[in-house]
Amino acid sequence: MNHVMLKKIFFITLLALACTSACFAAKKTHTFQIADGQFLYDGKPIQIHCGEMHYCRVPKPYWRQRMKMMKSMGLNAVATCIFWNYHNTAPGVWNFKTGNHDLAEYIRTAQEEGLFVILRPGPYVCAEWEFGGYPWWLQNNKDLVVRCNNKPFLDSCKVYVNKLAEQLKDLQVTHGGPIIMVQVENEFGSYMSQRTDIPREQHRQYYLAIKKMLRDAGFDVPLFTSDGSWEFKNGAIEGLLPTANGENDINNLKKCVDQYHHGGPYMVAEFYPGWLDHWGEPFIKVKADQTLTQLEKYLKNNINFSFYMICGGTNFGLTSGANYDGKHDIQPDITSYDYDAPISEAGWATPKYMALREVMKKYVNYPVPDVPAQIPIITLPEAKLKNSICLFDLKKSLKPFVNDTPLTFEQLGQGSGYVIYSKRFTNPVSGKMAVKGLRDYALVYVNGEKVGELDRMTKQYEMNVNIPSNGQLDILVENMGRINYGDEIPDNTKGIISNVKINDTEITGDWEMYKLPMDKMPETGNVSTAKNGLPAIYSASFNLSKVGDTFLDMRKWGKGIVFINGYNLGRYWKIGPQQTLYLPGCWLRKGMNKIVIFEQQNDNVPTVINTVKQPILDQLSNNQ
């Protein structure tokens, strides 16, 4: 062996030793405990000043900028829900690596930015997210019942928790990472109160099973629960710290916590600087003064807190969930999850942010950095929609599923998007058509002409139809998001879930169902076949010399979804309050870009798409 070779081996050995030493240095472990009424980091008391932001609602290239915004507001921790269905899209199919699915990278980024991390893994998380985080396909197991002491469900939960632990257990503070606490389930006390049909002991067995799963999987940092303080009687677990959601009364907070974890520490796990929003309802704003006053109360009294949300982001794709109330059988959440949060959907420092920052600077005992620069805003050149395809032309290329009665999305093996339900009538029929099982929104066509719409949101399940001999009935059904809160969570199938009736007669035989999941950007080809009143897909291309964030102006459009360069920006709907769609600049590119729009209503065939520099989130249409 020559002298040069020995030198090379010596150099490589030194390099390997240096890398090994660096790895051990980076993996220095710490302790985090709840003791003596305090949070203790390496044995020293700390206050948790946290903000919640979800990794899937902010584009990955912007994670660091948003975290810098948190640090610059004086926060020292970030909380995130973890969405089971975001990572487990089909049985046995898992994604923790690509794009926004890279949860471990999100947590490492937080550590690099000097933030602790609080995990809220569910398995149920609520969070205005599709099905509260549950995978839609769980419902295809008829023996499985979600969110209860049901063996098939708990077996599925165990798979999820173990998969999650494989990704994250080495990122706990006890292993050199930033994760300091993990939440058990979410607001389960509320669910126990809603589901009085289930014996309390059954509820508790399920709840404790989730706690055990987390521990057995290797989560060794402190566990905690989170509920409204009035639900601690159901939601608290012996030995775990109960945290309160939306609790403004400090004396009541202490009183309620002390009943189950005497002496604290005291934490509000969801401190609301804003609120969620539904289609067709006013955009809710929380006054900055109200939030400032409450923040100062917490800081003066050493109350730990987490802003829900500090930065809401966006329900990209078809991920938004839904609620319901007495007036609406469903209340679908809008695409924007801006939440009137201190950091806007696009990552801007709002006036609320700046005011909260000044309060934080008065109380925290660590330096607060300067606010980072805002991501540039641009407008796009007017994009002319040269190509289009009528949805019923596209339908001709699809192979239908045929059944005697309509099948649900789940039975068709489809989670989200749209299905066309088609039926040909040999004999004429006219009268009242009832689709009581509509989930959730439908446009109705007879012989290729639009004759009306049905809408679960407004409880519009009936309409008159007149179908001639050899006539064709088409019902284009959209899933507007599965309910994510309340006692209706277990009943979340989509499409047409019961028989269609005309004049109280069930319509059976040879129903054809055409699947349109819209999970990938559709193609229009070099044609232009869109017709007024019929659903259509439009496309356009445009060139950019520079990129930046912008907002698509959808005020002249009806209802649908938009793709840019393969990314699904989410739903738009003329009823408001949201009239623009956030387009992150990191999804644009210098040179050629492509936009594709699926317009469902298509009452006025559009020719161009425009952008604006400010979002419009609070404009209800006068013509709903």
Identity (one letter) of the amino acid at 153? F
From the candidates 187, 231, 410, 512, give the one annotated as an active-site residue.
187
Query: In this structure, what token pair is assigned to residue 193?
Result: 């109160």
Question: Of the candidates 230, 228, 263, 255, which has an alpha carbon nearest to the alpha carbon of residue 243?
Answer: 228
Active site residue 270: yes
From the candidates 128, 130, 247, 270, give the one annotated as an active-site residue.
270
- Give me Rg for the CA atoms of the chain: 26
Is residue 267 classed as helix, strand or coil in its secondary structure?
strand
CA distances from residue 289 to 285, 345, 354 in whole angstroms, order as listed = 12, 21, 12
Identity (one letter) of the amino acid at 572? Y
Q: What are phi and psi of 396, to 5 degrees?
A: -65, -25
Is residue 114 classed as helix, strand or coil in its secondary structure?
coil
Q: What are phi and psi of 120, to 5 degrees?
A: -130, 80
Q: With left for phi above 0 and alpha for psi between -120 and 50, is residue 489 left, alpha or beta?
A: alpha
Angle at 352 between CA 348 and CA 355, to 5 degrees: 115
Q: Which residues contact 539 (CB under 8 A, 6 or more apart)?
A: 385, 386, 387, 388, 523, 524, 594, 595, 596, 597
Q: Is 312:341 a contact under the CB 8 Å cutoff?
A: yes
Q: Is 149:88 a contact under the CB 8 Å cutoff?
A: no
Identity (one letter) of the amino acid at 306? S
Question: Of the candidates 310, 308, 311, which has an alpha carbon nearest to the alpha carbon of residue 272?
Answer: 308
Q: What are phi and psi of 508, to 5 degrees?
A: -125, 165
Q: With left for phi above 0 and alpha for psi between -120 and 50, is residue 236 left, alpha or beta?
A: beta
CA–CA distance, 288 with 53 (Å, rounded to integer): 19
Q: What are phi and psi of 236, to 5 degrees?
A: -75, 145
CA distances from residue 587 to 62, 380, 470, 595 in whole angstroms, order as listed = 11, 13, 47, 11
Active site residue 523: no
CB-count burial class (<10 Å; 0-12, 13-18, 19+) for 44: exposed
Q: Which residues contact 514 (CB under 8 A, 6 or more apart)?
A: 395, 398, 400, 419, 420, 422
Catalytic residues: 187, 270
